[in-house]
Structure 1
Amino acid sequence: MEIISLSIGMPKEVDYNGLMVTTGIQKKTVQEAVLTVDGFNEDGVANTNFHGGPDRAVCFYPFEHYKQWEREFNVPFHPPAFGENLTVTGMVEQDLYIGDILQVGETILQITQPRVPCSTISWQNKNTLLLKRLVHTCFTGYFTRVLQEGIIFSDSKVVKLEESPKKITVFNVLHTYMHDARNKEAVDSILEVDTLAPAMRQMLEKKRTPSS
C-alpha cells in the first residue's frame, strides 16, 4: 500500500459549459498536509450531502483505476482527477473492509464508506460517460474518519493496523446500494457494521424502506 499523490484544495466557483458551479473537486498536489478530525487544513467540499464531515474526512482513490479509465477512454488521467485527497496503490475497494484501521504517516484512519459519485466528476474530466462507468463498476473510492490527527507527507507509509471482523468490503457496500438495494439480507449485513458512516447507513435504510 503506497501513496501516489496527496492533494488538497478549497471549494471555488468554476465555469462548466456556461454554468457556474461551486465545487471542491479541483485539488492540487502537495508534499505535506495537516489532518484533523474534520479533514485536511486548507481543504474542503462544496456538496456536504455526499462529502465531508468527521465520518468522511479523507477521500481515497485507487491508482489502479486510472489505468482502466485510460484504456477505456483513450485519454490520460492524472491525479487527483477524481477530487481525492489520497491517490493510492494496493488499496482497491474489493480488498478493504468497512471498519479497517490504517496508519498513514502520523495519522490513524478508519474506513467508513464508499464514495457515492456525482456528475461533477464527469464535468471535471470533460467526459459525459465517466459517471455512468463509475456507477457501473463501483470503482469510486472511499472515505475514512480520523482517529488520530497529525501530518501526512506525500511519501508517508500506509499500514493496515486492524482488519474489521465483519468482512464487509467497500465494494460490497456500494454495489449493494447502487445495484442490489432490494436484497434485504445484503443490506442487513451491511447495517450490522457499527463503524459504517451514519450518512451511508441512512441512505441504505432509505433504499430498503418502501416509500408510502
Structure 2
Amino acid sequence: MREQSGRVLSVNVGAERPIAAKGGTSGIDKRPVDGPVAVRAPGPKGVGGSGLAGDHVSDTANHGGDDQAVHAYAREDLDRWEAELGRSLPGGVFGENLTTAGVDVTGAVLGEVWEVGSAVLQVSCPRIPCVTFAVRMGEERWLSRFTAARVPGAYLRVLRAGEVRAGDPVRVRERPGHGVTIGESFAALTTEPVLLPRLLDVPEFPAEDRAAIARRLARRGARRGAPGVTP
C-alpha cells in the first residue's frame, strides 16, 4: 500500500478528577503535555488502564486495557464540532490521548498499523460514548448527537512500546484487506446492527467484543426461530 501520514497535534493525559458520574472520579479531562510521553501495552481490561504514562483510568472494568490503550481523535472532526456547538474544543476535550491532523481516523481500517514517534500502534475498535462523556461535555442530548455524527475516534493497541510527542508524524504502515473501518464498526455497534456479522470475521477486532456479538446474534437467531415469532 502507498504510505499515508499525518501528525500528532497534541498528546493528552488526564489526572484523576471529580466528576458527577459513575464512581465520582474520572481521567476523561485530558490536557496536552509537553515533551515525550511513554507508551506501552497496559495489560488486560480490568487490570490495565491507559497505555500512556501519567494518564488515569478510573473505570478499568469498561475502559483501558490492551485493546483500548490509546484513544485518537481527529482535529478536523473537533473543528466540525466546534462549529456546531459554538464553543472552543481544545485537544483532549473528548478524552482523546492523541489529537491528530491529516489522519482519516473514521476511515481507518480495523487492524491498520500506525507508527507514531518510536511507538507502533494498531487500530482496534471505535470509541463508544458513555455517560461520563455526556457529563463531561454538558451538551443537551450529547450521546445521541455524537452517535448520529459517526465520528467516534479510534482506540489503538500498542504493538511496540515507545515515546510519542506533539509534532510526531503518524505513518500508516499496514492496512488489512478486509476493509472494515472505524466508521462502519461504530455504526454496527450502535445504529445499524445488521452490519454486526461483518465484525465477526475481523481478527483484529477485540476478541471479547467478537464473542459478545456472536452471543447477541445467536440470541437474535433463537428468537426468530421460536414458534409464533415472525422473522
Q: Measure the CA separation in 2 of the matches of 1:120 and 1:94.
A: 22
SS at structure 2 position matched to 1:179: coil
SS in 2 for 1:60: strand
> Which range is displaced more, 46-55 or 149-158?
46-55
SS at match of 2:80: helix
Correspondence for 2:30: 27
1:64 aligned partner: 76
Q: Deviations over 1:155-199 (max 9, x none)?
A: 111101101111100100010110121x2xx32221111111124
Q: What letter matches 1:126 in structure 2? A: G
Query: Partners in 1 of 2:84 and 2:209 — Cα distance?
Result: 29
Contact 1:27 1:83 in 2 (8 A): yes
Taking a change above 3 Å as real, the CA distance of residues 15 and 193 of structure 1, as seen in their structure-2 partners, is closer
Q: TM-score of the superposition, structure 2-length normalised? A: 0.82
Whether contact under 8 Å (1:101, 1:109) holds in the other structure is: yes
Structure 1 unmatched runs, 5+ = none
CA contact under 8 A between 2:106 and 2:152: conserved in structure 1? no
Seen in structure 2, the aligned counterparts of structure 1 residues 202 and 12 have a Cα distance that, compared at 3 Å, is farther
Native 8 Å contact 1:104 1:156 kept in 2: yes
Provide the identity percentage. Answer: 25
Q: Which residue of 1 aligns with 2:120?
A: 108
Contact in 1 for aligned 2:106/2:154 (Cα 8 Å): no
Equivalent in the alignment of 1:80: 92
Aligned length: 207
| Counterpart residue type for residue 103 of structure 2 | M
CA RMSD of aligned residues (A): 1.9
2: distance between equivalents of 1:128 and 1:82? 16
Instruction: Give per-residue Cα distances to partners, 1:27-65, cap 9 Å, x unaligned.
Output: 121122001111111112122343200111001111111
Of Structure 1 and Structure 2, which has the larger fraction of its residues in strand?
A: 1
Q: Which moved more, 1:58-67 or 1:127-136?
A: 127-136
Equivalent AA in structure 2 for residue 209 of structure 1:
A
TM-score of the aligned structures, taking structure 1 as reference length: 0.89
Match of 1:134 in 2: 146
Give structure 1 regions of 4+ aligned residues with deviation exceeding 4 angstroms: none
Q: Within 2, Cα distance between the matches of 1:199 and 1:89?
A: 31
How far has the Cα of 1:20 moved from its partner? 7.0
For 2:104 and 2:31, how far apart are their aligned partners in 1? 22
Q: Which residue of 2 aligns with 1:51?
A: 63
Unaligned runs of 5+ in 2: 1-5, 43-50, 224-231
1:175 counterpart = 2:196: no
Q: CA contact under 8 A between 2:31 and 2:93: conserved in structure 1? A: no
Work out the CA distance in 2 between the residues paired with 1:197 and 1:165: 17
How many angstroms apart in 2 are the aligned matches of 1:49 and 1:180?
26
Q: In the alignment, is the contact (CA less than 8 A) between 2:72 and 2:105 conserved in 1?
A: no
Query: Which one has a bigger Cα radius of gyration?
Result: 2
Change (3 A) 1:199 1:49: farther
Of residues 164, 175, 184 in structure 2, which corresponds to 1:163? 175
Name the CA shift for 1:189/1:14 in 2 (closer, same or farther; >3 Å).
closer
1:15 is displaced (CA, Å) by 4.7
